Amino acid sequence: MPINKDKLSKRKEAKEHNPDFIRPESWRYKRLQTNWRKPKGIDHHQRKQKSRGRPGLVKVGFGGPKEARGLHPSGYTDNLIHTISDLEKLNPKTDGIRFGHSVGTKKRKEIIVKAIESKFKIFNARVSASGSKS
């Protein structure tokens, strides 16, 4: 059950009013993905916003509400963790944790045990608390 439901619903409502930003010319060429890339060409029509019917550009004004920024879709705040001491600064009721990519399996297991004790929400555990590495 997500926490911060009101903040998440505000974010969702704001997103409904935003256009779907897709990569320019991605509808034209199959090799181009639809994920957003800013047009940077010197004469690019979409960058200059010259022609009608082209999708809009990503701008600051299309951002979500300030209070919902940095929230994971579950409603917890997303915090990067590298050591056990990083856990002590956080509140398990509002903060979720994500391990840094450089944290190895041995230290990850130690942190997971401590995090489960404290009832933290873990976003990318990758190993179980019991201990087998398979």
Beta bridge partners of 95: 77
CA distance 8 to 129: 30
- The tens digit of pLDDT for each residue in 3-19 reads 889 999 999 999 999 98
pLDDT at 130: 64
Cα separation of 111 and 83, whole Å? 7
Q: What is the pTM of this model?
A: 0.71
- Per residue in 10-43, pLDDT tens? 999 999 999 889 999 999 999 999 999 999 999 9
- In what order do the strands lie in the sheet containing 77-81? 77-81, 95-99, 121-122
Q: What are phi and psi of 105, to 5 degrees?
A: -65, -40
User: Which residue blocks in the chain are alpha helix, DSSP H?
Assistant: 5-16, 45-48, 84-87, 105-117
Q: What would the pLDDT profile of 93-116 be if each residue is shown by its tens digit? A: 999 999 999 999 999 999 999 999
